[in-house]
Amino acid sequence: MKIRKAKISDIKHIHKFVNEFAKKEEMLPRALNELYEGIRDFFIYEEDGTIKGVCALHIVWEDLAEIRSLAVKEEYRRLGIGKSLIKRCLKEARELGIKRVFALTYRSDFFKKAGFHETDKAKLPHKIWGDCLKCPKFPECDEHAVITYL
Q: What is the pLDDT of residues 7-63, one digit of tens each?
A: 999 999 999 989 998 888 787 788 899 999 999 999 999 999 999 999 999 999 899
Alpha helices in 57-122 (DSSP H): 81-96, 108-113
What are the phi and psi torsion angles at 13 (to 5°)? Answer: -65, -45
CATH (domain of 140): 3.40.630.30
Number of domains in the chain: 1
Burial class (CB in 10 A: 0-12, 13-18, 19+), 57: buried
Question: 132-145 burial, b for 16+ CB within 10 Å, e for fewer?
Answer: beeeeeeeeeebbb
Domain of 59, in residue numbers: 2-149
Candidates 46, 50, 58; CA nearest to 93 is 58
| pLDDT for the residue 129 | 45
pTM of the model: 0.88
